[in-house]
Amino acid sequence: MNKATLPLAAAGLVALFALAPGEASAQAAQVISGLQTINAKIDALVVPFKVVETTGGLCDSAGPGTSTVNLEIDNDGTEGHFVVTSVLFLTELPGVPATGFNSFSINHLEVDAERFYTRSGNLLGPTDGPGVYESIDIMGVPLRRNGDSDNPIAGGNFPHQIVAESNDTDDIHISFFCSSTDDDISFSSIQVSGWKRPDDTVTLTFTPGS
């Protein structure tokens, strides 16, 4: 029994002692039914979650060409939905290469096997000072209406939150482009957070570039 229902149960039992046996039995059935209804509502509530992929992985190695990296977010629940509100990337030390880095951008998003082409501009870049970690939360970033990722013409936005069903594998799939010619660029960790049912488990899988 949930802790929130204990005061209600105690009050119901006190009231039963003042009734005749037949009336008490009927009242007890009503109290039990009411508690079951309350517990069902409590079980249906959502709770916040945070999942961190601490191993990270390669975004792109030095040299010509572009890597495609992928992120899969899956909820093992058998019914209902879950919500993702934040997807944070943290680059590995020393961060984004000072020269030769081209881009880290969103290519497309799949929600419950439905693909949406959500191409963004460049999301990362070198910052001043040594040993600086660069990070980005991709939720809500502007999408682009042209082919230039460094000077994009802003269009709409990547979703500020993603709602997916919990009835399949890889409920949410996000694909990225990454390109760096002078030095490797890698991520040290990726963190996803949002809302889920209390008994569900959300897993995060990062497929690195090459």
pLDDT in tens, the chain (210 residues): 444 544 545 555 445 445 566 676 778 788 888 777 776 666 668 899 999 998 889 999 999 989 999 999 999 988 889 999 999 999 998 889 888 988 999 999 999 999 999 999 999 988 766 666 788 999 999 999 888 877 888 889 999 999 999 877 779 999 999 999 999 999 999 999 999 998 899 999 999 999
**Strand 114-116 relative to strand 135-137, pairing:** unpaired
The residues with which 67 forms a beta bridge, in sequence order, are 178
CB 108 within 8 A of CB 119: yes
Report pLDDT for 19.
54
CB 87 within 8 A of CB 69: no
Report pLDDT for 42.
62
pTM, 2 dp: 0.78
